[in-house]
A and B are shown apart, each in its own frame.
Chain A
Amino acid sequence: MWTRVGRSTVVGVDPVPIPAQRVPVRADQVLITGDVVADRLLDTTELDARARPTQEVRYTTRFFADTHRVRGVPLHEVLAETGLRPDRRHKMGELNVVVLAVSEDGYQVALSWAEIAPDFGACAAMLATRYNGERLIRPTLVMPCDGRASRYVRRLWQLRLHCMTPTGSELTPQP
């Protein structure tokens, strides 16, 4: 859920409690919802079946540098299949889209659609189904371009896309 307060736009969900789900989500699934053509459920097993070869990712923690081996599917590929519903009244409306990644426990981070799009930031965000060889129940969002791991979202539960339409009189929020 996101609402607007005055000229400010408010993005995100309350960490607790998790809002009622419109679509039942199994313990091994991820829901893609929001400004998409239609809600979509991803099975971790099906994602794993099409995972790319294992790659290494590095980031620093408070005390040391860490390296991990991950395998999964590019996030942009999954979102492109799902179908974005950008604001077509606005030129390049997809450049105004926020992708909120939410974990089972309500932890959430924001990505811009552009930073993961191959034509723009191409940051190689991934839905990892295996982490250091271990098969995951739900994917982990992996952000190889980040110097820290705070946007690595474990037990990913939901990907919520929001098209941030202008608050001015020339455009109104999408239904």
Chain B
Amino acid sequence: MRYRLSTLALAVVTVLALVSAAPAQSTPTANAFVVNGAVTTPLTLTAADLRRFPARQVWVRFESGTGTQRHHYVGARLFDVLTAAGPRFDPAVKNHKLTFAALVAATDNYRSLVAWAEFDPDFAGTEVLLAYREDGQRLDRPRLVVPGDRKGGRYVSDVTEVELIGQP
């Protein structure tokens, strides 16, 4: 119980720190990205802000137009970031969260979509990341990383927006 309380307290402190650090209005600043859509607390974050979340690392391999790519990424789970923004799940609707998805956009307007269940640990549980390091190099803007995808189409570079879409 003590562990659970301390974990809960840490989560609350993390969310409060992020909320206080970020204006409620999603106004992009240099190299910032926004987390908005069906959330109670829209966030404006930088890649550096992502370091406040528990760090995760993945080794991935995928096909691209230039051949097979292998990379090592460090970042925050998309699940943790969206949870910090407060998804507007309705507890009165059975498994409401399973009707949600995240639409992730880049500076060049390229975007891709990941269903909530894909990265929710209770379901498919893919370790989808907003990465701030790639092969040891710091990224100015995060990159969406979708381990397990055979092609790299959903790897969105230079993320500017994470929009949670779902029922009101």
Chain A interface residues (CB < 8 Å from chain B): 5, 7-12, 15, 90-92, 95-98, 100, 107-115, 118-123, 143, 145-148, 150-151, 164, 166, 168, 170-171
A100, A146, A164: the one within 8 Å of B99 (CB): A100
Further contacts, 18 of them, CB under 8 A, given A10-B166, A98-B113: A8-B163, A10-B167, A11-B165, A109-B99, A110-B100, A112-B114, A112-B118, A114-B113, A114-B154, A115-B118, A120-B146, A121-B126, A143-B117, A147-B122, A150-B95, A151-B117, A166-B111, A170-B109
Instruction: Assess whether B125 is in contact with A10, with CB atoms less than 8 Å apart.
Output: no
Task: Say yes or no: A166 contacts B105, CB within 8 Å.
Answer: yes
Partner of B122, one of A5, A12, A90, A148: A148
Q: Does B61 contact A (CB under 8 A)?
A: no
Q: Does B37 contact A (CB under 8 A)?
A: yes
B4 is an interface residue with CB less than 8 A from chain A: no
Residues 143-164 of B, flagged 1 when their CB comes within 8 A of A and 0 if not, give 0001011110110000000011
Tell me how many residues of B have a C-beta within 8 Å of chain A.
Answer: 41
Give the secondary structure class of A's interface: loop
Nearest B-chain residue to A170, judged by Cβ: B109
Interface on B for A, CB 8 Å cutoff? 26, 36-38, 93-95, 98-101, 103, 105, 109-118, 122-126, 146, 148-151, 153-154, 163-168
**C-alpha gap A173/B166 in the complex (Å):** 17
User: CA–CA, A9 to B168, complex, Å?
Assistant: 9
Given known pairs A7-B36, A121-B149, the reply for A108 and B99 (CB within 8 Å) is: yes
Given contacts A11-B165, A95-B113, contact A119 B100 (CB under 8 A): no
**Distance (whole angstroms) from the CB of A163 to the closest CB of chain B:** 10
Contact between B101 and A11, CB atoms less than 8 A apart = yes
Contacts of B124 in A (CB 8 A): 115, 123, 143, 145-147
User: Are A121 and B168 neighbours in the complex by a CB distance under 8 Å?
Assistant: no
How many angstroms from the CA of A91 to the CA of B99 in the assembled complex?
Answer: 25
